Chain A
Amino acid sequence: MSWVLWLVVAAAVAHVTEEFWLPGGFLGSDAA
């Protein structure tokens, strides 16, 4: 049952990664 919540954790990490760390993101090379 808890496995699906670890997917939620993985989704949260993926979202933060895209939003903040990839180029164009908050902390990426193209930070706005």
Chain B
Amino acid sequence: MRRNAPAFAFAATVPAAAVINAMFIAGAVAAALVGPRAPVFALSAAALIAANGWVPVAGMVRERRYLPGVVTGLLVSQPVAALAYLEYSRAGLVTGGVLAASLILGAGYHLVPAGYFGFRWAVQHAGAAGAS
């Protein structure tokens, strides 16, 4: 997290990482429990791991060295997410709307940590401006 977004390293604390990743896992578990009863929500978990898998890859490209998360992001998250969409498609549960909504929702989950880091950044800069 710190290497992926160095500008926000000050906010990447252990409690923040624990909460964000607990939400990540809990969301995936919730999607698995709901399953085909709510295909948009179920597949949004697949979209989430697919989108999240590219985050360390982008950092690796930027820094030109291995970053933790690259291996599973590419070799685990992408094929598993694709398999989930394939299985749901075989079951006739993937319409154009389900596909679009699940992809948007899965990518949109990243607004949660982005919002946290944006809030922390704003607070820090507001404090710095007030101190000067």
Contact = CB atoms under 8 A, between A and B. Distances in A.
Interface residues of A, number: 27
Contacts, number: 99
Contact of A26 (B1, B35, B73, B84): B1
A13 B84 CA distance: 16
A7 to B, nearest CB: 5
Q: How large is the interface on B (under 10, 10 to 19, 20 to 34, 35 or more residues)?
A: 35 or more
B110 interface: no
Contacts of A17: 72
B31 A22 contact: no
Given A1-B88, A8-B46, A14-B76, A27 B24 contact: no
